[in-house]
Amino acid sequence: MKERRFSKLHLLLAGAVGAVLAVFFLCLALWLAIGPQGLTLLEAWGAARTQFVGEFDQEKAIDATMEGLVEGLGDRWSYYLDAKGYAAQNQRRTNTYVGIGVTVSYTDERGLLILSVAAGGPAQEAGLTVGEVITAVNGIPLEGEARYEGVDHISGEEGTAVTLTILGENGQERQLELKRAAVNTEAVHSKMLDNKVGYIKLDNFYSNSAQWVAQAARELAEQGAKALVFDMRNNGGGYVGELTDMLDSLLPEGPIFRTWSKNGREEVVESDENYVNLPMATLVNSGTYSAAEFFAAQLQESVGAPIVGEETSGKGYSQQVVPLFNGGALNLSTGRYATGAGVSLVGTGVALDAELSLTEEKQRLLEAGQLPAEEDDQLQKALELLGY
């Protein structure tokens, strides 16, 4: 029997055919995965890298491209984060962050107005107080439009130093050097009001918030609370899992959250029979977003808890973080959601039982955590609706 032999030419031809087929199937896979528009994006990037005659910052170009892509979706809830922003978001969502321990506002054109000072943080140790203004960071003035970059200048690695110029309420200016440190965010604040109504304020729905709210409600009930008021004002929302866990701990058995994926698949979250058997009410304002407004709507739907305050954001999409190779991420709307009974908040927000706004001065005091309960018109209206 003759032995069959392949020449080098045959082997080269076979290899070339294999390579062509590999490229063909790769292109086909890309076409099916991202479509002609996606290939256009890749083609444009390839042309920019190989043919553009000028010099350019590739990271800056990619960041701008991603921002443009998200803007083109026409969805106000989706956004792009560069690597630095994504890392900061991940840290913030653990309810800890590296910084100096202040919450600031941009309402003062002289710089960053200090609204609150975290207990035990570098700012408190250095003697900063609510009402003072940070007018410069490391010698960089923050007056006017520059104040919007102030937080970026203050941010940095743990243990590093930052020099602040502080304008006191007495008009005197001073300089302080602080070391950045890990600061725990107190996301839940609770107390018993004089009429034996428990008050629970929640700042966000990030890590551990459901556990903290459940604990606060349980402790207030044990102290003899006759009702509970949940303050969701200026709460920007957070994780769906924290929201549903929180609702489950408070509400009686029944559906408390419905969601639909892109392909229409529906999921329903049910609350069990364990719940807090007390009258409830919720406070909201224009800064009540996402999980915070949904919380109010579901309490209203499940147990008739009145809602007092201002029109909310009207959000009805949930987002998923999609990490990217450049270290950044897309925060992309990937699902629609509604209350347990199927009511969407899109375009409407919550159904207010009493629409009421605070004065600008009282709003400022609220943001600083210094508004007395007896002067809080929205809180007093909620107590009235509860019968207290």
Same domain, 180 and 211: no
pLDDT digits (tens, 9 = 90+) for 36-83: 777 788 888 889 889 999 999 999 999 999 999 999 999 988 999 999
Q: Residue range 148-156: average pLDDT?
A: 85
Does 131 have pLDDT greater than 60? yes
Q: What is the pLDDT of residue 1?
A: 46
Same domain, 177 and 304: no
Q: What is the CATH number of the domain that holds 362?
A: 3.90.226.10
pLDDT more than 70, % of the chain: 91
pLDDT digits (tens, 9 = 90+) for 179-236: 999 887 778 999 999 899 999 999 999 988 999 999 999 999 999 999 999 999 999 8
Q: What is the pLDDT of residue 26?
A: 64
Same domain, 210 and 293: yes
pLDDT digits (tens, 9 = 90+) for 278-300: 999 999 999 899 999 999 999 99
pLDDT more than 90, % of the chain: 61
Total domains present in the chain: 2
Of 158, 184, 210, the residue that ends a domain is 184
This prediction's pTM: 0.76
Cβ contact 194:380 at 8 Å = no
Same domain, 236 and 367: yes
Cβ contact 96:120 at 8 Å = no
Of 184, 208, 227, the residue that ends a domain is 184
Same domain, 301 and 155: no
Does 25 have pLDDT greater than 60? no
Same domain, 175 and 203: no
Same domain, 272 and 123: no
